[in-house]
Amino acid sequence: MEVRLTREQVLALAPDAASAKAGGGLAIDGKWALLGADDEALWGECQGSGSKPYQTQVDLAALVSRCSCPSRKFPCKHGLALLLLYAAGNPRCVPQARPAWVDEWLNGRRDRAARKEAAVEAAAVAPPPDPQAQAAATAKREQVRWGRIEAGAAELQRWIADQFRQGLANLPADFHAQGQTMVARMVDAQAPGLASQLEAALGEGAPGLAGLGELGARLGLLQLLTQAVARRAQYEPARLADLRAALGWPVDREAVQRDGEAVHDRWHVQGQWLVEQPGNLVERRVWLHGLDSGRSALVQDFSHGGRGWQEQWRTGSVHAARLHFHAGSVPLRAVVTEFEAPRTEATTPRTDTFDAASQAYARNPWLPQVPMRLQDVHIAHDGTQCWLQHAEGALPLQLPGLQAWALMAFAGGHPVCVMGEWDGQVLLPLSAWNARDERWERSAA
Amino acid sequence: MNQAWLKPALLGIDRPQVIAVGGALDALLQAVADADEPALAYSRQVGVLAACERAAVRTAAAVSVPPPVADDPLQLAADHPWVALLATVFQPGQFSPWGKRLRLQACAQLAAHGRHLPVAVLPQALEAGARLAVLREALRAVLGVRGYWLAACNPEWRYASAPLEAQASAEEVEQVWNEGSSEARLAVFQQQRLEDAAAARTRLQDSLKELPARERAAFVAALQPGLGADDAPLLQALLKDRSREVRALAGPMLARLPDSAHAAYLQAQMAALLQQSRSGLLRRLAWTLEAPATLDPGWADAAIDGKRPNGEVLGERAWWLYQLARQLPLAWWCRTLEKPAAEVVAWAREGDWYQALLRAWLERVDASEPEWVEALVALKETHARKSELLALLPAAQRERYWPAKLQDLIAQGLLDDVLDSTGAAQSLSAAYSQALAPSVGALFGDERLRYDYLLRDRLLELLAVLHPSTLAGVQIAEPPATATDAMLHCAQQARALLALRQALYSPF
């Protein structure tokens, strides 16, 4: 007799509790106009909110699903529901002829796998490239890029100094347009980090007096960065890595796996969120805490066109995995290998202090954000903004409209534990727990 | 960290400047300042300060933390299957007429099960209540302690201030009366009126001077329950109130008190205008009505405005008559003329002053006099207000006015009447819904929906007012293959609405 998945195993695939619940709700025979299965795959058509039914399919060997729905979750609720129906032994999930769209996908997957294998074999057979020649080529490429960045940084440096010379209160009428031109120049100079930080400094529209202070401070920080580019030869490797990260220098995943500091641990998922980026790109940020090592880590992935994620992290669960940290004076970002399925474990929650965040920013002022998990805090709302009251003081929370009230309602005036991203000015809460171990999660932006 | 650097930076840097902040940082800033040309060096100093500022986690002054809220055993737990359902019902967004009804039904159903809204849905539900006043009453029943607590934290949700306990102490009542919002004060007043009518009257009498006109009107209207002869002096005084709204309200209330001088005055005035004479071939006794011919000085004390407003369609005499008639109870006419309501209306129609009387009666009629409602509904002059009048009738009586076939309802343009006269929290009767249910679903595949966008909305609303017991019999038809996106969307919405309603009325 064939071995079928259990309901629990299927639910463990869910990216979050909401998906698991939604999947459970859709696992009703009547919602599926078409259902079918064979040895390799499982498929179905489910009526969603769109006009056409969603076509959902699962590769049973790899338990990978694909769906025509626009959800960014992976697997989506339709994929989960389909698996749940299958696990429950739905009588319609019996071997039958595959529709063309299932065949197409499975064949595509098979082809891609074969191509990948062939490429690996070819690489194994091909004579190993001369390491010296390779190193020389890399060094030459880097040098060219540094040259461009240096020229760009010098240009930005002059432009910022010009703004200070004429005074921030006397900015020209076309300041914004000039700034945008500089942003484009920084992209041309292969320094996307400078471009994005300059764009953030420019903000939208003409700044008010408080905005001018903020603009000045951000331009000042950029100025330190342009100076650092010129001085990079004096830096130790960790500081140089900080600089490269701040400039937006892409990091090769394999290089990190090879050279990065590796930590095998039981990683507790503290919080995560999806950020929609322009161009149909979704960024996922997952914050982890090593139960044995006590380390914090950020797993940052990007998915284009709703392709989904390699690892499924569920907030609150614990995964054993090996993390390879990117270099830097505050190593946070990491690449995952040896990822294991979640297990439920009693965890002792870690508590951060303001000091930890302070020290991280003292070591690297260009850090985009650091994790902060604060125990025994109260949530308050002053009518315009949500606040977090900690023993050490109050911090502003970045939560839009009703989400702020949702967190207020969740806390109910009682102390809670809040985990979020601190960007140096405001805390962006991602998850919260109360004394009864109920959880609140930030919904996708 | 102070922003000592900002002022020079705003004005422009044309000579070497060192920012002094005190402490060890000054030496560093000095070194940075010496290194390069003035503006560049200054911008770097600002960068140094900004970097320091980032490393300092700046906390704000302590914020006022709301008091902890007690546990609510009636609140739905986060893992209850209804949480997802309610979250869908209260999804923020446009309020369609059916969405409004669905939200009301969800509140009513939850209240019927004796449970309160789950934490995760509270903000959306309170926000919906802030935007839709009609939802508020139903919401109050399901907010629970935490809902009231949350509403108290947000000024925009003040409408949902917690109700006073039945045994609220006198001080608590006084506190709400003195400090509460106008809704809360009104609620306190209504409660007191039920418990101790005289005390409420005294309270209103004492505070009349400080109340704005709109609130005066609301409080006067709240005197209605338990209206008695003791209220006559207060109402008599209100006949001369500055606000026309209050005068218009006080007159009919006072006229309802049979022993009041005002009632007697009005009846005498109207009786003087009525005459019984024999006329026609058979010399039958018949009543005739004449409008007042001259202005009566006594009217000023009876809330009758002698001066006809600009733009008034009635003539001067009709205007006087209308003001007299609108204060008289409808039953007086039946009594005096010794005719049932339908015949009184028919008699008026034959006379010269029909428009004035009709206007007065339409203003006066309410749900307590169904025979008058039916008499007025039958008139072609009231066509525009038909759904409003029908809404005053009980469902079974109302539904007799409509054909039992949906096709006929649409063809005769009566669908709007059906929907508009069904109260926001009501549904059609089971029998009438049973008659409509099979054809509702089929219409979602109909070609008429291609261009008639109003019909699309109306059909969806009809789906929201069908009696819950008949929902199982509705089958949403598949739109034709050539359907437009709007048609597909409509059918899709219908399916979602049907599923939500079925879930709301399925076992808890």
Q: Which of A351, A386, A372 is nearest to A423 (CA)?
A: A372
Q: Averaged over B358-377, what is the pLDDT?
A: 89
d(C-alpha B43, C-alpha B386), whole Å: 75
Whether the link from the prior residue into A127 is cis, omega within 30° of 0, is no
Helix, strand or coil, per DSSP, at residue B90: coil
Does residue A345 have a pLDDT over 80?
A: no
pLDDT tens profile B466-482: 999 998 888 888 888 88
Q: Averaged over A241-256, what is the pLDDT?
A: 90
Give the start-to-end residue ranges of the domains of chain A: 7-109, 139-234, 252-337, 354-441
Q: Averaged over A59-82, what is the pLDDT?
A: 85
Helix, strand or coil, per DSSP, at residue B40: helix
Q: How many CA atoms lie within 13 A of B4 on its CB side?
A: 13
Strands A64-67 and A54-59: antiparallel
d(C-alpha B426, C-alpha B466), whole Å: 9
Distance of CA B186 to the CA centre of its chain: 15
CATH of domain A252-337: 2.40.50
pLDDT tens profile B229-277: 888 889 888 888 888 889 888 888 888 888 888 889 989 989 989 888 8
Q: For position A162, what pLDDT does the model report?
A: 92
Please report residues of A whose CB lies closer than 8 A to that of B120: 406, 409-410
* Residue from the list A168, A224, A414 with its beta carbon closest to the beta carbon of B44: A224
pLDDT tens profile A371-408: 999 989 999 998 888 999 998 889 999 998 889 999 99
Average pLDDT value for chain B:
87
The answer to whether the A252-337 and A354-441 domains have the same CATH topology is yes
- Using the beta-carbon criterion (under 8 Å), do A47 and B495 form an inter-chain contact? yes
Instruction: List the structure tokens of B236.
Output: 């008599």
- Using the beta-carbon criterion (under 8 Å), do A412 and B119 form an inter-chain contact? yes
Q: What is the DSSP letter of A95?
A: B
- Give first-to-last CA distance, chain B, whole Å: 58
Average pLDDT value for chain A:
87
What single-letter amino acid sits at A215? L
A364 beta partners: none
Give the C-alpha distances (Å, rounded to integers) separating B382 from B355, B377, B388, B398, B417.
11, 6, 10, 15, 13
Check if the beta carbon of residue A47 is closer than 8 Å to that of residue A81. Answer: no
Give the angle subtended at the CA of A136 by the CAs of A134 and A139, to the nearest 5°: 110
* Residue from the list B37, B51, B154 with its beta carbon closest to the beta carbon of A365: B51
Phi and psi (nearest 5°) for B355? -60, -45
- Using the beta-carbon criterion (under 8 Å), do B496 and A49 form an inter-chain contact? yes
Q: Averaged over B279-287, what is the pLDDT?
A: 79
Instruction: List the structure tokens of A165.
Output: 């010379």
Global confidence as pTM: 0.73
Task: Kindly report the nearest CA distance between residue A145 and chain B, in angstroms.
Answer: 25
- Using the beta-carbon criterion (under 8 Å), do A164 and B13 form an inter-chain contact? yes
Task: Kindly report the nearest CA distance between residue A425 and chain B, in angstroms.
Answer: 7
Q: Using CB atoms and an 8 Å cut-off, which of residues 372-431 of chain A contact chain B?
A: 378-383, 387, 389-390, 392-396, 402, 405-406, 408-410, 412-414, 422, 424-425
CATH topology of domain A354-441: OB fold (Dihydrolipoamide Acetyltransferase, E2P) (2.40.50)
Residue of B nearest to A161 (CA): B40
Instruction: List the structure tokens of B367.
Output: 């749900």
Helix ranges (H only) for B196-256 are 197-207, 213-221, 232-238, 244-255
Q: Is A213 on the interface with B (CB under 8 A)?
A: yes
Residue of B nearest to A378 (CA): B65
Where residue A1 falls among pLDDT bands split at 50, 70, 90? very low
Residue of B nearest to A414 (CA): B68
Task: Kindly report the nearest CA distance between residue B1 and chain A, in angstroms.
Answer: 12
Q: Using CB atoms and an 8 Å cut-off, which of residues 37-56 of chain A contact chain B?
A: 47, 49-51
- Using the beta-carbon criterion (under 8 Å), do B127 and A361 form an inter-chain contact? no
Q: For position B1, what pLDDT does the model report?
A: 45
- Using the beta-carbon criterion (under 8 Å), do B59 and A392 form an inter-chain contact? yes
The helix-helix angle for A192-202 and A131-166 (nearest 10°) equals 20
A-B C-beta contacts closer than 8 Å: 172
* Residue from the list B37, B62, B122 with its beta carbon closest to the beta carbon of A394: B62
Cβ-based neighbour number of residue A30 at 10 Å: 6
- Using the beta-carbon criterion (under 8 Å), do B150 and A218 form an inter-chain contact? no
Residue of B nearest to A393 (CA): B59
Residue of B nearest to A30 (CA): B499
d(C-alpha B65, C-alpha A135), whole Å: 60
Q: Is A434 on the interface with B (CB under 8 A)?
A: no
d(C-alpha A134, C-alpha A274), whole Å: 37
Instruction: List the structure tokens of B347.
Output: 């008699």
- Using the beta-carbon criterion (under 8 Å), do A227 and B44 form an inter-chain contact? yes
pLDDT tens profile A2-39: 567 788 788 878 877 788 888 888 888 888 888 888 88
Handedness of CA A248, A250, A253, A258 (dihedral sign): negative
Q: For position A299, what pLDDT does the model report?
A: 93
Please report residues of B whose CB lies closer than 8 A to that of A414: 68-69
Give the C-alpha distances (Å, rounded to integers) separating A345 from A291, A348, A371, B130, B456.
10, 10, 22, 43, 53
